[in-house]
């Protein structure tokens, strides 16, 4: 489990960070291609996770429900990652940008199939309810191990050998781990499970019925809150390394030091926070974490120099992780057992699609309005500025509203039940 979790998170971390700098450094410094790539990737990730999550729920095979998607998904995910730098060989900038978006979407399709749809559903299948916070902490620990590799090692490796070798090596690792770890992953045969009488598309349509919303109100409140926090995060995150490299003047190798300090500190806190989520009120933990996350994001925009960047970055990232652990473990407690894959798919609409459609577009508009003009390889563009973090922090605070509404709604229902 750990090998698949870490490798998958490395691939996602690279896509979320170094794909963006690759486009800025080799194709165009205009922020719009990055926002287009992020938005297209979000759409593909969401549709794929809903479709393949529902399909994995319905799969009946001697390999189990999730294993076939994990095994073949990881192999093809790695192949698409290795092919990504080929886009820099295209001399026509417009065509190169189109191919960047296309290859990123293909990589996202296979990654979402393997990781977001199948692997996440598998972790819910095998984790006891009383330990889901702890499991979420372990998964977040794997996320930070992956980020440590993807940011610290990748920054130095890209400075040393360039983007091409880096993407070739990463793609090969994802393929090998998918083949070896995915092949031995324990997944009980599902041939004996009863088959759904409903068709695939009928099951997917039911996710969007009003009855589904009414029956799972608290679940959707968590998703809406996570969505609003995610929008604030995505205003700044796609442009963060470009901001640090070009506005503050920190090299990729120096950024690796900052990123490494942030990741190590957050990784140490991951499992204790997961254990805490099993013991205290998850709503309270999520609300406090959201407030402190936004404070950290705003503070990040005000500091300069490696020590202060590392300190504020650690504060921001640790409480963002705390909010994620509380939300995800709370969400998994509420997932209907017979349709976990489907609901983990619909989670992608709120967790990935809407934040990545809305946030980077806001960030791109802010950069084009307030950014520092620049030229890279003869292409005009803009360097990101601190306002993207400040606006992102303010938008993130809106995530507290659904949690408060959910509390009021719950109290109202309790009063009605007592009166009855």
Report pLDDT for 213: 60
Percent of the chain with pLDDT over 90: 24
SS3 305: coil
Lowest mean pLDDT among 84-98, 146-160, 237-251, 330-344: 330-344
Q: Mean pLDDT highest for which of 94-103, 159-168, 274-283?
A: 94-103
pLDDT, one tens digit per residue, over 146-161 is 777 777 777 778 888 8
pLDDT, one tens digit per residue, over 347-378 is 778 888 899 889 999 999 999 999 999 987 77
CB 357 within 8 A of CB 39: yes
Report pLDDT for 91: 85
pLDDT, mean over the chain: 80
Residue 117 in this model has a pLDDT that exceeds 70: yes
Report pLDDT for 128: 61
- Residue carrying structure tokens 């979320």: 16
With residue 12 as reference, give the H or E element that holds it: helix 2-26
CA contacts within 13 A on the Cβ side of 146: 25
Residue 75 in this model has a pLDDT that exceeds 80: yes
Residue 194 in this model has a pLDDT that exceeds 60: no
The arithmetic mean of pLDDT across residues 217-235, rounded, is 90
Can you count the helices (H) and strands (E) in the chain? 19, 2
Report pLDDT for 289: 92
Residues 6+ apart with CB under 8 A from 148: 259, 260, 263, 264, 267
Residue 415 in this model has a pLDDT that exceeds 70: no
Report pLDDT for 362: 95
Report pLDDT for 419: 44
Residues 6+ apart with CB under 8 A from 253: 155, 156, 159
Report pLDDT for 138: 67
Gap between the Cα atoms of 412 and 166, Å rounded: 56
CATH number of 2-186+206-414: 1.20.1250.20
Q: Where residue 263 falls among pLDDT bands split at 50, 70, 90? A: confident
Report pLDDT for 234: 93
Lowest mean pLDDT among 27-41, 205-219, 280-294, 317-331: 205-219
Question: Higher model confidence: residue 91 or residue 397?
Answer: 397
The arithmetic mean of pLDDT across residues 406-417, rounded, is 48
Residues found in the chain: 420
């Amino acid at each position: 489990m750990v090998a698949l979790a870490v490798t998958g998170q490395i691939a996602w971390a690279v896509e979320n960070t170094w794909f963006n700098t690759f486009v800025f450094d080799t194709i165009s410094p205009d922020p719009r291609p990055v926002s287009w790539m992020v938005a297209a990737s979000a759409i593909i990730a969401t549709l794929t996770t809903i479709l393949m999550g529902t399909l994995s729920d319905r799969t009946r095979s001697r390999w189990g429900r999730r294993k076939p998607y994990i095994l073949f998904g990881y192999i093809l995910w790695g192949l698409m990652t290795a092919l990504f730098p080929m886009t820099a060989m295209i001399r026509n900038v417009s065509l190169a940008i189109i191919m960047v978006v296309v290859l990123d979407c293909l990589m996202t399709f296979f990654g979402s199939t393997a990781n977001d749809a199948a692997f996440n559903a598998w972790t819910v299948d095998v984790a006891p309810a009383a330990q889901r916070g702890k499991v979420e902490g372990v998964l977040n620990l794997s996320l930070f191990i992956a980020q440590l590799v993807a940011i610290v090692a990748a920054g130095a490796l890209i400075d040393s050998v360039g983007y091409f070798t880096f993407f070739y090596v990463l793609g090969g690792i994802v393929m090998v781990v998918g083949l070896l770890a995915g092949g031995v992953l324990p997944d009980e045969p599902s041939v004996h499970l009863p088959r759904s009488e409903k068709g695939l598309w009928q099951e997917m349509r039911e996710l969007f019925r009003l009855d589904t919303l009414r029956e799972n109100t608290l679940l959707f409140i968590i998703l809406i809150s996570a969505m609003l926090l995610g929008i604030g995060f995505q205003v700044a995150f796609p442009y963060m390394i470009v901001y640090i490299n070009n506005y503050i003047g920190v090299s990729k190798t120096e950024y690796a030091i900052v990123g490494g300090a942030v990741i190590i500190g957050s990784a140490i806190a991951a499992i204790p926070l997961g254990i805490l989520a099993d013991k205290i009120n998850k709503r309270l933990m999520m609300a406090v974490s959201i407030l402190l996350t936004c404070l950290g994001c705003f503070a990040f925009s005000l500091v300069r120099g490696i020590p202060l960047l590392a300190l504020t970055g650690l504060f921001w990232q640790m409480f963002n992780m705390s909010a994620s652990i509380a939300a995800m473990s709370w969400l998994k407690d509420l997932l209907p057992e017979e349709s976990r894959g489907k609901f983990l798919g619909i989670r992608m609409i709120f967790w990935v699609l809407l934040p990545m459609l809305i946030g980077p577009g806001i960030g791109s508009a802010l950069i084009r309005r307030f950014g520092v003009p620049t030229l890279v390889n003869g292409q005009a563009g803009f360097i990101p500025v601190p306002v993207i973090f400040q606006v992102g922090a303010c938008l993130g605070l809106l995530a507290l509203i659904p949690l408060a509404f959910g509390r009021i709604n719950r109290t109202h229902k309790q009063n009605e039940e007592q009166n009855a």
